[in-house]
C-alpha cells in the first residue's frame, strides 16, 4: 500500500507522487524476501531509497519517451487534454520555475529547497536558531535562495511533516537520491545498450531487472557508497546529475 495526494486541477501532482512512491515500493519488493528482518533484508540507506523513487519519478516519468508512449492513454483518461499534445505536456512537466512547495518544485530548483532546510535544521540542532524564530529565518533564506516572498507558514516552514515527526537530517537524503538516481541512470544506459528502445516500447523490465541485480538484491550488505561504486564502477559524484539537468534544459530550450 502507498499513499498519494491529488489536485483536481492538475493530474501531474498525483502522477508524479505515485511514480515516486512506486519507486520506493519496488525497492522494498526487491529486497531478499528470505532475509526480511535482518540487515540483508533492509535498504542500504535512506539516500539509496530516495534514489529509487527519484529515478522512476524523474528519469523515467519526466522523459520524452514516457510522455510520447503513454500519451494516448493519458489523453483518453483526461479529456481536458484535448487540443494539447504530448510534447506540450512534457514541457509542462519539466518547466523550470521558482515555487514555494518542495514536493512541487522542478528538478533544477529542487535542491535549493533541500539546502534551505538543511541549513535551518543545522542551526536548530546547534541551538543557534530558536523554534519561535524559524518562520522569519525560513522566509529570509527562501528569499535569498529562490527570490520569493513567502506569503504564509503553510507555504513556508509548516509545509513538511519531517520536523514534526522528529525527522531531522532526512532532507539531505533527497539530494543524495537525486545525485544517485542520475548516476545509476547513466550506468544502466552504458550497460544495457537496448535500454532506451525498451523504454520506448513501455517495457520497463530491463531497467527494473538491472536495479534488482545491482541495488535491491544486496540489501544492507554494503555501505551506500560502496554499493554505488560496485553498481556503476564509479564513486558517486555530482557530474552525472549536472549532466542530466544540463541536457534537460537544452532539450527544453530547443524549438520543436
Task: Output phi, psi for 10, to 5 deg.
Answer: -150, 100
CA angle 136, 143, 122 (to 5 degrees): 60
Q: Would residue 121 show up in a list of annotated catalytic residues for this protein?
A: no
Do the Cβ atoms of 19 and 5 come closer than 8 Å? no
Question: Cβ–Cβ contacts within 10 Å for residue 178, how many?
Answer: 25
CA dihedral 183, 186, 18, 77 (to 10 degrees): 160
Residue 145: half-sphere exposure toward Cβ, Cα within 13 Å: 22
Q: Point out the catalytic residue in the list 8, 21, 97, 140.
A: 21
Separation CA 200–CA 148 (nearest Å): 38
- Integer Cα distance of 236 and 44 in angstroms: 15
User: Rounded to whole angstroms, how far apart are CA atoms 222 and 231?
Assistant: 11
Q: CB–CB of 57/19 below 8 Å? A: yes
- Residues serving a catalytic function are 21
Amino acid at each position: 500500500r502507498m499513499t498519494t495526494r491529488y489536485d483536481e486541477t492538475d493530474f501531474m501532482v498525483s502522477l508524479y507522487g505515485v511514480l515516486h512512491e512506486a519507486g520506493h515500493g519496488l525497492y522494498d519488493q526487491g529486497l531478499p524476501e528470505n532475509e526480511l528482518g535482518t540487515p540483508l533484508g533492509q535498504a542500504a540507506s535512506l539516500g539509496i531509497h530516495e534514489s529509487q523513487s527519484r529515478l522512476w519519478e524523474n528519469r523515467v516519468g519526466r522523459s520524452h519517451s514516457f510522455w510520447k508512449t503513454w500519451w494516448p492513454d493519458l489523453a483518453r483518461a483526461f479529456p481536458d487534454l484535448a487540443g494539447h499534445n504530448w510534447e506540450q505536456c512534457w514541457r509542462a512537466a519539466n518547466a523550470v520555475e521558482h515555487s514555494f512547495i518542495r514536493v512541487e518544485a522542478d528538478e533544477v530548483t529542487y535542491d535549493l529547497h533541500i539546502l534551505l532546510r538543511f541549513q535551518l535544521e543545522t542551526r536548530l540542532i546547534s541551538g543557534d536558531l530558536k523554534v519561535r524564530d524559524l518562520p522569519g529565518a525560513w522566509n529570509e533564506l527562501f528569499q535569498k535562495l529562490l527570490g520569493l516572498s513567502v506569503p504564509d507558514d503553510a507555504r513556508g516552514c509548516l509545509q513538511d511533516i519531517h520536523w514534526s515527526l522528529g525527522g531531522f537530517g532526512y532532507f539531505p537524503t533527497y539530494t543524495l537520491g537525486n545525485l544517485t538516481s542520475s548516476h545509476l541512470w547513466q550506468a544502466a544506459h552504458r550497460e544495457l545498450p537496448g535500454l532506451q528502445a525498451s523504454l520506448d516500447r513501455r517495457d520497463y523490465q530491463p531497467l527494473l531487472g538491472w536495479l534488482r541485480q545491482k541495488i535491491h538484491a544486496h540489501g544492507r550488505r554494503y555501505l551506500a557508497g560502496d554499493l554505488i561504486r560496485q553498481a556503476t564502477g564509479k564513486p558517486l559524484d555530482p557530474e552525472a546529475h549536472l549532466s542530466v539537468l544540463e541536457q534537460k534544459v537544452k532539450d527544453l530550450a530547443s524549438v520543436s
